[in-house]
Amino acid sequence: MHWADTFYSPFPSLVISATLLAVVLLLNWRGTGRKILVAICILLSSRYMLWRALYTLNFDDGWGMGVSLTLFLAEIYGFVQLLLFSYQAWSPTDRESPPITAYPTVDIMVTVVDEPLYVLKRTLIGCLALRYPSDRLAIYVLDDGHRPEVNSLANELGVSYLSREGRAHAKAGNLNAGIQRSSGELIAIFDVDHVPSPDFLEKTVGFFDDENVAIVQTAQGFYNQDIFQQSIATGRHLRNEQELFFRTLQSGRDRHNSAFFAGSSGLLRRTSLESIGGFQTATITEDLHTSLFLHAKGYKSCYLNETLAFGLMPESFEGHTKQRTRWATGTSQVLVRDNPLFMRGLTLPQRLDYFGSIHYFYFGLPRIIFLIAPISWILFSTPALKADTGPLLNFFFSAYFASLVAIRLISRNTRNPFWSDVHEVVMCFAATRATIVGLFSANKAQEFEVTPKGSRFETSGFAGASSIGGHLCLFGLLVFGVATGVLQLLEPNPTPGLPVSIGWASFNAILLSAAIMSAHKQRQLRNFIRRAHRLPCSILDESKQTDAEILDLSESGVAVRVSAPWYALQRQISIQFGTKANELLTLKGEIVRQELDSSGGATIGIQFKDLDERAAQALIARSSSAPQGDGVTTGMGVFRSFATLLSVLSRFRERLQPSRRQAPRLPLAKQCRLEFEGSLVSGRIRDVSYSGVTAVFPALDDPPSQICILSIEDVELRVSPIESVERSGETLVRFRVESIEKGASEWHAWHQSFSR
């Protein structure tokens, strides 16, 4: 008997699976043992791959052999990716910022092409708020869009404006042109949408006391939700898709001196850049390629796992795809031009880390193979692997379930089970095309497509067929396959293993449905993104001042919470809160909505009015600081995450127009009288707010259209009609309250009773 037959015999293999899974569950429950979990996942996956190679390949005929080997090669890719991921995630660093012992000169460079002006302005104001000696700091706008309005904005804010002839080599060429016209010892680079925190330089410049350090990169944070969080309404349950890279992988690479510059929110030493000829222009991923050259030159990098700048995720499926496609194409170009496995000057850990970053982007074709594979058995009776259900569940399920349980702890709570699968399904077709293009265009000029940021959508809708056509076709094929398989199960002698293929195809259909739903863009009704903040404030009108708490903030408005509803007819109020410079900022505003909460308090939406430039800049500096209390959970377990995935269709919904009420409407069952145009009509009140009333009257041939008098017991209100609706022989009229003519004390008393 072969040794493998003993190793893979039913009882010993089940004991091994059960024991290791028990250890995984225990460690996950205790929240400890990351490295042990990584080792167990590798062990179970290695056992599965060996079993697949020895016992399950289909060599019955040419077609079966082709299908079987294709799936096995895709699984080999996944296994290699597991090994590379595990290596990078094995021992992350947690650096602390060193003190600044000297103050080198720093050039801040903000690159811009055609992005909205307000996005650039926000970033420049954040740069102006950096705490660093002003005589050691210079701020540059590098404009590749050659727009006069960008020049005007730079002059208005007192920063330097640089432009160049043409747009050769895209961002890399833009940065190189800026470097040639500046002189700072260090160069801090921000994309147009990345707003630095005031302490960005205070926490990063100290690393350059080591003269061999060429790169200092920080974690990137994002104000807005990614397409997965926003389109299928999972924002409070899922972490941002890029957090796994910035929170885990970059820190793990830092252990091997291979954390790379990520294109924004990082600093580089000028002399180090100049020693390699500046930013690399041969590929469209200048950040990775330049970092590779710096490490090969023997320079060091430092990664600070702290979010010191916040930017924008692509707001649409097309934008997300465009960004990831550029990364995939660029990494393929790097592989052909400067393969890190063979590039001179790199250490072995650096070779593995850089190759891991490139290897990841080849997930597209393997993912498509995984999606299609179960159909071969259902529709063509050709198994992609030959195995009984019991051993398959034992060897595959133990490895897969262990990885699902362990991923949250291994990723440091940045990734939920199953959602890496969804991310890859979204990009599988585009990534496949991009990597192939990169392989065959490595020595050709490739157009750099700027990721759209700051986009606004007036309507909701799905991405075009060119973006999700492949997903829709494959989803339809899987649904057809599942239906066909279920019908085959009803036959007298169904094919063995058919339930496994049906279950696999069904799971793939669920992944595809989540991917398709992520292509649905939501209407964006706000001009500016609201960012979570928790700040004390006061709201004031002509008669009173009320303490409140800011919940979220943007350049155009604020949401505050008060302990009791704000009962006043005046829509115009003022709000006071502290600035980043510890000054008291007083802004005029208008109440545009008010909603009650379960504790008897209310959330008030206030839109700012008549902002002067000084107030606007202070507001931008405050609202662009690090968000606080965003309410995102630390992740989900396997079963809760799967339940979230299953519920994707029921949770997919159109976001409704937010309430624009100045005050909450509450039910009030009282009789009323309406005087208008010489007529007196009796009716009943349905609901009231401090600024509005809804009343129902017998059918009115000619509803009121001008200001009239509405009496409710001893209260007399001067009201103006907003809307009249005919319903079941009655006329429903909504009024705005213009003034209280009589019975103000009773009116106040009613609302006070509502607030209690």
Beta bridge partners of 194: none
294-348 residue pLDDT tens? 999 999 999 999 999 988 888 788 888 999 999 999 999 999 999 999 999 999 9
The tens digit of pLDDT for each residue in 650-685 reads 655 444 344 445 556 677 888 999 998 888 999 999
Residues 518 and 554 in one domain: no
Give the CB-side neighbour count of residue 483, counting CA atoms within 13 A.
Answer: 6
pLDDT score at 484: 93
Does one domain contain both 90 and 211? yes
Mean pLDDT to the nearest integer, 51-70: 90
Residue 643 lies in a domain: no
What angle, 0 to 180 degrees and rounded to 10, lies between the N-to-C axes of helices 117-128 and 613-623?
A: 80
Cα–chain center distance at 327 = 17
Residue 168 has pLDDT above 50, yes or no: yes
d(CA 404, CA 402): 5
The answer to whether residues 377 and 512 belong to one domain is yes
Mark which of 594, 623, 652 sits at the end of a domain.
Answer: 623
Q: Show which residues are catalytic.
A: 144, 287
Q: Which of 469, 491, 524 is the last residue of a domain?
A: 524
| CA pair distance 660, 593, nearest whole angstrom | 4
Kindly state whether residue 150 falls inside one of the protein's structural domains. Answer: no
**Are 567 and 714 in the same domain?**
no
Whether 550 and 501 share a structural domain: no
Do 448 and 313 belong to one domain? yes
Within-domain flag for 70: yes
Decide which of 269 and 691 is more confident: 269
pLDDT at residue 51 in the model: 93
594 and 511 housed in the same domain: no
Position 73 scores a pLDDT of: 96
pLDDT, tens only, 578-614: 876 677 888 888 887 777 676 767 788 888 887 887 8
How confident is the model over 92-104, as a mean pLDDT? Answer: 94
Regarding whether 483 and 598 lie in a shared domain, the answer is no
CB 573 within 8 A of CB 663: no
Place of tokens 């959330």: 603
Domain region containing 728? 666-755
189-231 tens-digit pLDDT: 999 999 998 899 999 999 999 999 999 999 998 877 788 877 6
Mean pLDDT of 157-173: 94
Q: Does the structure show a pLDDT above 60 at 502?
A: yes
- Final residue before a domain boundary, out of 623, 649, 682: 623
**Local confidence band at 495 (pLDDT 50, 70, 90 cut-offs):** confident
- The rounded distance, in Å, linking the Cα atoms of 503 and 482 is 8
Q: What is the pLDDT of residues 443-457, one digit of tens each?
A: 665 566 666 665 555
Confidence of residue 409 (pLDDT cuts 50, 70, 90): confident
Q: Are residues 352 and 500 in the same domain?
A: yes
**Residue 178 burial class via C-beta count within 10 angstroms: exposed 0-12, middle 13-18, buried 19 and up:** buried
Lowest average pLDDT, out of 29-43, 248-262, 377-391, 614-628, goes to: 614-628
pLDDT at 460: 60
Residue 380 lies in a domain: yes
Report pTM. Answer: 0.83
- Note whether 481 and 345 are same-domain residues: yes
Candidates 118, 122, 119, 116; CA nearest to 624 is: 122
Q: Is residue 118 a part of any domain in this protein?
A: no
Same domain? For 57 and 27 the reply is: yes
Predicted local distance difference test score (pLDDT) of residue 52: 93
Helix axes 419-440, 465-489, angle to 10 degrees: 130
Q: Is 700 helix (H, G, I), strand (E, B) or coil?
A: coil
Q: How many domains does the chain have?
A: 3
Identify whether residues 547 and 489 lie together within a single domain: no
CA 314 to chain centre: 8
Comparison of pLDDT for 477 and 703, the residue scoring more: 477
Return mean pLDDT, the chain.
86
Domain containing residue 542: CATH number: 2.40.10.220
- The residue with tokens 């990137």 is 220
